[in-house]
Amino acid sequence: MKKKKKNDFSAVNSMIIRRPMKRWFPVFIMPTFICFIIGFVWPFIQGIYLSFCNFNTPKDAKWVGFSNYVKAFSDKGFQHAFWNTAAFAVVSIILINVLAFAIAYALTQKMRGANLFRTVFFMPNLIGGVVLGYIWSLIFDAILKGYSTYLTANATYGFWGLVILVAWQQIGYMMIIYIAGLQAIPEDLNEAAKIDGANGAGILFRVTIPNMMPSITICTFLTLTNSFKSNDAINLNAFALPGGDSFVGFDNYAKGMTFGNYPFMKSVGFSFFITIASVVLILLFTSMSAWYIARVDSLFARIFYYLCLFSMIVPFQMVMFTLTFTADRLKLNTPWTIPIVYLGFGAGLAIFMFVGFVKSLPLEIEEAAAIDGCGPFRTFFLVVLPMLKPTLISVGILETMWVWNDYLLPYLVLDRTKYMTIPIHVQYLKGSYGSVDLGATMAVIMLSIIPIIIVYIFCQKYIIKGVAAGAVKG
């Protein structure tokens, strides 16, 4: 075996790029890694440990071995829930991916209004789960009312209602990934298949689908993980247009913003601050970490990257109890500190997409910057970061939708007597008092949707580009 020469390409690359970057390890990796430990690794490890214990609080946990698992698997309620979840996962995976691929394939056939249809199909993904739950429960109950029943009267209604809701929300996002994958297939392959006599179906099954396997794998994986997480006029007819006595103008909006003893605009302010601060932290620190991981081939970088991938398949419910306890102990339970928790738990998807994009960037540009005297810090901010723009915007939109619509993390971590985000306020409005004003509730829901739709409309053209560069290529 020949000994590697000191002046070969890999040695020069190591000297110019990797070695200086290793000295900047505390700057590029440590902030994200520390938050990742706080937001995911430690709560996950603690959660596994507590699953083998009996406890009221983590401080008084007593080891009992596998007895908790024996109790769970022998409980008929758990068995019933397990098989329902498995059935829901299978049905959701098939339905969402088949429909998403069909829509994506149709929208890449140079049809009129393709951009408009992409926007329409993706928009349900902008709406949070709490809001979706209320909207669809009204729709289903209005439909079932004609049959003298309601959604929760039969478990079958609830199962298929949930399948429809989840499919309606997720098909648009999976469609974007499939479109990115379809656009990444070289046109030469299709032309060669046509020359060989293949028809439309032959090209689809022998060329398109085999080349779409990375996208199919990603969509199947995402669908599977999501499947395990997951007034009078309105009451009389949810589908009727307002008119006459049922039209109240802006009264519902005024009532929704003043209903209860917690100002709605205060919730809006906290939601804006938490969303902006969290997304800025995620974009800045995960992009820096992703560049380091992609360029420095070290054992630590690989372990960190695979841990980030692993965190993407772990549902929040697995860590929510221990994460809440950790956030309380570290005083991360205020709007000013909860962005650190979001950075820790949300680092996985961002790093996955950024690493995929960085690997597609030409290394020669970074080498030229290093030869011109730029250190790793200046190279990243002056050279690499501008090239990351498509993925920055794509990841930014996805993280904004997550944080803005998130209900569980703020609900569990924040002191709700002092701090409420919009999803918590909607739940508070819907679940408080003996009589719920659905008109005011729907007005608040509408106000909660508007900002995220505005962000998407202005940035939507970057989503496919960012997903194609990050998720599909990576």
Percent of the chain exceeding pLDDT 70 equals: 74
- How long a stretch of residues is the chain? 474
Which carries the bigger pLDDT value, residue 281 or residue 19?
Answer: 281
| CB-based contacts of 19, cutoff 8 Å, min separation 6 | none
**Model confidence band, residue 415 (pLDDT cutoffs 50, 70, 90):** confident
- The pLDDT assigned to 338 comes to 94
- The pLDDT assigned to 290 comes to 92
Which carries the bigger pLDDT value, residue 454 or residue 324?
Answer: 324
Plot region of 223 (φ>0 → left; ψ -120 to 50 → alpha; else → beta): alpha
62 φ, ψ to 5°? -125, 130
- The pLDDT assigned to 140 comes to 78
Which of 237-246, 356-365, 416-425 has the least mean pLDDT?
Answer: 237-246
CA dist., res. 341 & res. 245, Å (int): 48
Q: Over range 389-397, report the average pLDDT.
A: 83
For the full predicted model, state whether its pTM sits above 0.85. Answer: no
pLDDT at 46 over 50: yes
- The pLDDT assigned to 371 comes to 82
Q: Over range 180-196, report the average pLDDT.
A: 71
pLDDT at 8 over 50: no
CB 452 within 8 A of CB 284: no
Q: Over range 228-235, report the average pLDDT.
A: 43
Per-range mean pLDDT, top range of 15-19, 95-99, 255-259, 467-471: 95-99
- The pLDDT assigned to 462 comes to 64
Which of 7-11, 39-43, 316-320, 453-457 has the least mean pLDDT?
Answer: 7-11
**Model confidence band, residue 90 (pLDDT cutoffs 50, 70, 90):** confident
- The pLDDT assigned to 270 comes to 92
The chain-wide mean pLDDT, for the chain, equals 77
H/E stretch holding 63 reads strand 62-63
**Model confidence band, residue 340 (pLDDT cutoffs 50, 70, 90):** very high
Which carries the bigger pLDDT value, residue 232 or residue 334?
Answer: 334
CB 426 within 8 A of CB 448: yes
Which carries the bigger pLDDT value, residue 162 or residue 305?
Answer: 305
